[in-house]
Amino acid sequence: MTTNTDLIATLVDDMFFNSKINGAAAECGRRIERIKSREQLEGLSDNPPALILIDLNSGRVDPIKAIEFLKSHAELKKIPIVSFVSHVQTDLIDAARTAGSDYVIPRSVFTQTLTEAITGNLSSLARFAREN
């Protein structure tokens, strides 16, 4: 599988976070593909991104089912998934980890480490993903 190294897929409904992600991606020379439907999610295998960002509060596509789908397909399962949610939503945090999300971090940490995530420097997220 060859990933598209400048492409990042996002499952994020919140316009505030989309704006932040788009700005950071533009600064880093990365492109964003917003996933708005199950069909788009399934189409990622045709053009695999380098990274997938998922808001666990997304309403367009069930985020947990999306993670399960991504991790169950050979051509997509190695793509890192960064999920974010409020630190008090422990049920969602646990569900995302069980589904296979590589990094589950609080929204505040996501905002602080967005540039690192966009550039593929995920090591800074590992510490936060384990703490929560």
pLDDT means over runs of 10, the chain (132 residues): 78 92 94 94 92 94 96 92 92 95 92 89 73 50
> pLDDT tens, 38-69?
999 999 988 899 999 999 999 989 999 999 99
Distance CA 59, CA 69 (A): 16
Nearest CA-CA partner of 110 in 22, 43, 20:
20
Number of structural domains in the chain: 1
- Res 123: pLDDT: 82
Considering just the CA atoms, what is the radius of gyration of the chain in Å? 13
- Res 56: pLDDT: 97
- Res 75: pLDDT: 86
Query: What is the three-class DSSP state of 78?
Result: coil
Q: What is the DSSP letter of 41?
A: H
Distance CA 107, CA 29 (A): 23
- Res 4: pLDDT: 65
pTM of the model: 0.92
Contact between 14 and 55 (Cβ < 8 Å) = yes
Domain that holds residue 82: 4-131
Q: Report which secondary-structure segment, H or E, holds 108.
A: helix 107-112
CATH number (domain holding residue 36): 3.40.50.2300
- Res 121: pLDDT: 83
- Res 9: pLDDT: 96
- Res 32: pLDDT: 95
